Amino acid sequence: MKVKIKAKKKWIYNPFKDGLTQSLIEIFRACPVKIRLVLAGWYKPAKSEALIFGNVVHELLDILYTAIKNKELKKSADVIPYMNNNNKQIYKRLLEDYREEDTSVKEIAEAAINKALIIIPLYFDVYKQDFKLNWLELEKVFSFKLLNIPIRGKRDGALYKGKGLWLFETKTKGRYNIESIMKWLINQLQIYVYLWSLCLDYEAQPKGVWYNIIRNPQIKKNKSESWQEYAIKLKKDILSRPEFYFQRIERAIPYSRLEAYISKLIKELERFLEWWKDGIDIPYGSNCESKFGACEFIDVCTSDCKNFDTVQKREDLFPELK
């Protein structure tokens, strides 16, 4: 279906050229003012420990699962020797995204890397079956079109289990409720977008998602502790309750439900195009404050001030779309 719409208001952003990601769609759902600011280049610097830890864990899993897929790693006992033998290369890759950041961010990244290097070998001790899984892909960039809008993203992984094609998605969380996740997982935009991309890429109907949860430890390293001492303390806690740190949810999603969700998403994208065409913003005041605090864009949204502590403006307007 071809859609020809020209914006009345001057935009640098063009959805038919620049596309959308799942996160941008969710920002539009939250507030049209917020999505306009994001598309104008405003962003929140990635300085939180939780976000950096999540990025590091994803990168390390990509390294190790790729080695498994390539038959370089065949059992959990091989993980630590492999990491030791490739220590410099692994550490360099994990730190790569933070080399140009300020000292405080690099320190957070280095701490996150050290913590991940403690946790992940224990993760593979729990999931020994992962060495025998039929991995199809890892960290796969995808793009497909809805209403001529490129929808882009990156899947953590996909595999064949039995005769079925499954999406594999990893999340790092400090706190979570497994029963709650079981309920809301079936309604997640990301899951449906990624499953649809999987369906198109492999011309097959995926069975569902493996939701892989790795807990971000709340046990902190004391200033007086060495990393070796902290590792002993953290390992002891993980080994005493591995099910607390590592959990997986297998959620089958019928293809009919996937099709129905994508049909609804198309309707939502029609609304997005109308908003882009008309250039009219209606603030959603109810989203200015949440349980996580005020929206990071609240000062930009409500003030003419040009100095902001929580957000910055980038020259490269659409980095996550590239």
For the segment 196-205, the average pLDDT, to the nearest whole number, is 96
What confidence score (pLDDT) does residue 307 get?
A: 43
Of 235, 227, 247, nearest to 182 by C-alpha is: 247
Which residue spans within 25-93 are E strands per DSSP? 42-43
For the segment 209-228, the average pLDDT, to the nearest whole number, is 93
The tens digit of pLDDT for each residue in 87-137 reads: 999 999 999 988 888 888 899 999 999 999 999 999 999 999 999 999 999
Q: Is 7 helix (H, G, I), strand (E, B) or coil?
A: coil
For the cut 90, the answer to whether the pLDDT of residue 143 exceeds it is: yes
| Distance (Å, whole) CA 151 – CA 144 | 5
**Domain segments of the chain as ranges:** 15-44+267-321, 49-136+146-253
Sequence length of the chain is: 322
For the segment 224-249, the average pLDDT, to the nearest whole number, is 95
Q: pTM to 2 decimals?
A: 0.86
| Distance (Å, whole) CA 58 – CA 55 | 5
Q: Which residues pair with 165 in a beta bridge?
A: 160
What confidence score (pLDDT) does residue 291 get?
A: 66
What confidence score (pLDDT) does residue 319 get?
A: 46
What confidence score (pLDDT) does residue 65 get?
A: 96
Q: Which amino acid is at 195?
A: L
What confidence score (pLDDT) does residue 157 get?
A: 95
For the segment 298-318, the average pLDDT, to the nearest whole number, is 54
Say which residues have a Cβ less than 8 Å from residue 121's Cβ, sequence separation at least 6. Answer: 76, 79, 80, 83
Q: What tokens were used for 254?
A: 């019928």
Q: DSSP of 225-291, one letter per residue? A: --HHHHHHHHHHHHHH-HHHHEEEEEEE--HHHHHHHHHHHHHHHHHHHHHHHHT-----GGGSEET
Contact of 206 with 164, CB cutoff 8 Å: yes
